[in-house]
Structure 1
Amino acid sequence: MELHTVAVHGSPRVILLDDRMAPVRPVFRYLEFLRLKNRAPSTLASYAQDLKTYWVFLSQKGYAYDEATPATINEYKAYLQSNDPDALVLYLESVRCGSTINRMLSTLKGFYGWCELLGAVELNPVLSQAVAMPPGMHKGMLHHARRDSRTVQGVFKVKESPRRVRIVTDEEMSAILDAANSERDKLLLSLLYMTGARIQEALDLQIGSIPIPDQFAPVSVVENIKSKGKRRDLYVPLRCLELIDAYIIGGRADIATDHDFLFVADHGPWRGRKLTYNAAYDSLTRIREKTGISFGFHDLRHTFNTNLAEAGVDVAVRQLLLGHAHASTTDRYTHLSSKRACEALESYWERSVMSCPQS
């Protein structure tokens, strides 16, 4: 099984090919269905990778996709969890974290739901069950009108470990920027740190959409940027705009391109092409090795939100700046330091009636 990117009617498509190098038709048709629903290319690529893993499992076991049962899905879950899917062990040490396995099972649930609608299978084998709605889960406007407070959850869902988040300090950020190999890499990391943008949002930025720095405007808005298949505004401080402007006039102007993307490959055979996530991640890896600081692109987004929270910025404002659909998501992005917690508690006790001397 191999994934290939090919041009279909002038636009790229991710196609899963079997051992005979023929397209796997159900996967191709499902991805095309999702593409017509305006799913982001990165989302389609992720779904394609998940379905490739499932098809490899089916091929190894000699199963047909349209004959899968809940027992098949349970066996597939064990396959995802174990280093050696054919070995019987008492304690499984998963090569994938719980959230990754749940995402892959969710992809499978969507695929079989589509198959069920088309009549290719009688019943979706990725079963779900009604469970109590978690306290922190987003609730719709009319949730109070429901008969109960239950939601649907996959039967095969595995326990997820708390996500490890690295909040980058100002001193660490200075060291990271000093270790950046190029003006482009320094700008990319600064942009993520100063705006809370997602990495793909930054890579999709185009020069024509970026405002000219205005000394009388401390913050400018890059309107209608691509964001996870949708659109949102990105709020950019003046200092960041000045860095972007310097890069456009400097290093970016020296690279010939036939497009308007801000970040481009600056060396090798790909010079002048739009910077890809993999190329950006390679640069990140070199910086981590050079500084000894373990961090990721998304950690800078968490850091941005946490810094705003510690500065007292309201959650509704942070939700807007981060482009979250729900404030509950913004809250999960907040990781206040113990120092901040102690300062808040100290301030509370200073104002509390219990701290006043009794007469």
Structure 2
Amino acid sequence: MRRYAVGTIAEGATKYFYIRDCETMDVVLLPSKYLKHKTRSNRSPNTVKRAAFAICYYLEYLKEIPMEIEQVYQLDYEKQTEHFVDFLHWLKGGNHKQDNNLKSINNGTCNAYLEDVFRFYLFVEAEYEQLGSLKVLSYNYHVAANAVGVQKKLRYQSFKGYLKAEERNVRPAEHEEIITILQACTNCRDQLLILLIAETGFRIGEILGVDYVHDIDYQRHMVGVYFRDDNENDARAKNAEYRKAKISEETYEFLMYYLAEYRELLQHQRFLFINITGKTAGQPLKVDSVYDMLNRMEKKTQIDLTPHMLRRYFANMRRKAGWRLELIQQALGHKHINTTIKYLNIVDDELLEASQEFYEKHSAMYGVEKLL
């Protein structure tokens, strides 16, 4: 049995995370104080949730060694490095999970958990200056502004023991797969959800945060993404961005059909996507429920489909239609164009064909014949 567990408590529309000692049933104060600080700093609930689990796993690791947080500070540079590298391999080995049948955790996720642990240590150092600082982190600072213009003082991390990042090999959904899944769905809510992600390229958290009263332009058939920090289903627009996407006439008509079909449930709240059965009928749909639905569809059709694959489908379909790379980047809400490039299913044959076509049109661009 695990010693530590993540818990939540609601205060109005705000959800707070904490860590509980399962043996004593006490709240573990220092990490819980840190999580409360992150929530009050207006970090997204999913960001705080990931930090909560990362710290919870780290506490399990400390228990197994065994070691206390204060003792980590007393280690020299080499031993601290070894300590955190061992934690990464502990995660990689699946020791943080009780279910041995779970898929192997990738290196990027392990590194992200360790980064959350380092952020927790920085909080500890700010609270208890007498502990000093971790030797594996450097002391160089720079000031950077986030997506909404708020400046933060950031400390460079000199830790060199991160696992080598693996290339994220997510394929785009195929058009025929989407049609098959749509036909297998048992209700129009799930069908509309799939259609809107495929036609807008929105992230799952963004699409679940759509307010059907304020975020849909019913005249121009456009759906908008707006940042809010009070969505009760924890859905937020990433990077505090604002953008809109136009949908097809057919999907707009299907949206109207959905709104009419579930008008009695929808009228009591503002979210477009809701639970349609059971005791939670009428409440906002959450991400976990979407993945549960897609898992059921996979068992039914043998087709693995995820919201991220639908985003990549959107990107590749627009590229094939001739959209400029910058337009696709803007539609997807990417900060960096390199991220957009990774979404596009550009294969070597396409690059070869494009290069051949270019040189056929510009064969004499360097005047090489005069050099012979």
TM-score (norm 2): 0.78
d(CA) in 1 for partners of 2:120 and 2:212?
37
Alpha carbons 2:265, 2:281 under 8 Å: kept: yes
d(CA) in 1 for partners of 2:322 and 2:158?
35
Structure 2 counterpart of 1:81:
92
d(CA) in 1 for partners of 2:14 and 2:314?
35
Output the aligned Cα RMSD.
2.8
The answer on 1:11 being equivalent to 2:4 is no
Q: Given the superposition, is the C-alpha separation of residues 322 and 98 from structure 1 closer, same or farther in structure 2, using an over 3 Å criterion?
A: same
Task: Specify the code of the residue in structure 1 equivalent to 2:218.
Answer: P
Between the two proteins, the alignment pairs up a number of residues equal to 324
d(CA) in 2 for partners of 1:229 and 1:349?
41
SS in 2 for 1:304: helix
What aligned pairs does 1:42-61 form with structure 2 within 5 A after superposition?
A: 42-61=46-65
Structure 2 counterpart of 1:168:
173
Structure 2 counterpart of 1:253:
263
Residue 345 of structure 1: how far off its partner (Å):
4.7
Structure 2 counterpart of 1:113:
122
The answer on 1:32 being equivalent to 2:43 is no
Structure 2 counterpart of 1:90:
none
Structure 2 counterpart of 1:308:
318
d(CA) in 2 for partners of 1:4 and 1:211?
35
**1:297 aligned to 286, 307, 313, which one?**
307
Gap runs ≥5 in structure 1: 86-93, 131-150
d(CA) in 1 for partners of 2:267 and 2:61?
42
The answer on 1:197 being equivalent to 2:202 is yes
d(CA) in 2 for partners of 1:154 and 1:307?
40
d(CA) in 2 for partners of 1:336 and 1:310?
10
Residue 206 of structure 1: how far off its partner (Å):
1.2
**1:222 aligned to 221, 224, 227, which one?**
224
Alpha carbons 1:15, 1:23 under 8 Å: kept: yes
What aligned pairs does 1:320-359 form with structure 2 within 5 A after superposition?
A: 320-337=330-347, 340-341=350-351, 344-345=354-355, 347-348=357-358, 350-353=360-363
Alpha carbons 1:112, 1:126 under 8 Å: kept: no
Q: Deviations over 1:265-317 (max 9, x none)?
A: 11122211111111111100111222222231111111211222222212221
Q: Given the superposition, is the C-alpha separation of residues 328 and 338 from structure 1 closer, same or farther in structure 2, using an over 3 Å criterion?
A: closer
SS in 1 for 2:213: helix
Task: Specify the code of the residue in structure 2 equivalent to 1:98.
Answer: N
Residue 114 of structure 1: how far off its partner (Å):
1.8
Alpha carbons 1:2, 1:18 under 8 Å: kept: yes
SS in 2 for 1:111: helix
d(CA) in 1 for partners of 2:58 and 2:275?
34
Q: Deviations over 1:83-133 (max 9, x none)?
A: 569xxxxxxxx9321111111111111111222222353112554699xxx
Task: Specify the code of the residue in structure 2 equivalent to 1:237.
Answer: I
Q: Given the superposition, is the C-alpha separation of residues 347 and 114 from structure 1 closer, same or farther in structure 2, using an over 3 Å criterion?
A: same
Task: Specify the code of the residue in structure 1 equivalent to 2:84.
Answer: I
Residue 228 of structure 1: how far off its partner (Å):
2.3
TM-score (norm 1): 0.81
Residue 209 of structure 1: how far off its partner (Å):
1.9
SS in 1 for 2:16: strand
Task: Specify the code of the residue in structure 1 equivalent to 2:281.
Answer: R
d(CA) in 2 for partners of 1:329 and 1:238?
26
d(CA) in 1 for partners of 2:62 and 2:245?
46
Alpha carbons 1:128, 1:155 under 8 Å: kept: no
Q: Deviations over 1:167-196 (max 9, x none)?
A: 122222111211122111111111111110
Alpha carbons 2:196, 2:247 under 8 Å: kept: no
Q: Deviations over 1:207-260 (max 9, x none)?
A: 11233433xx4x63525244126132131324333332221112x214266421
Q: Given the superposition, is the C-alpha separation of residues 10 and 208 from structure 1 closer, same or farther in structure 2, using an over 3 Å criterion?
A: closer
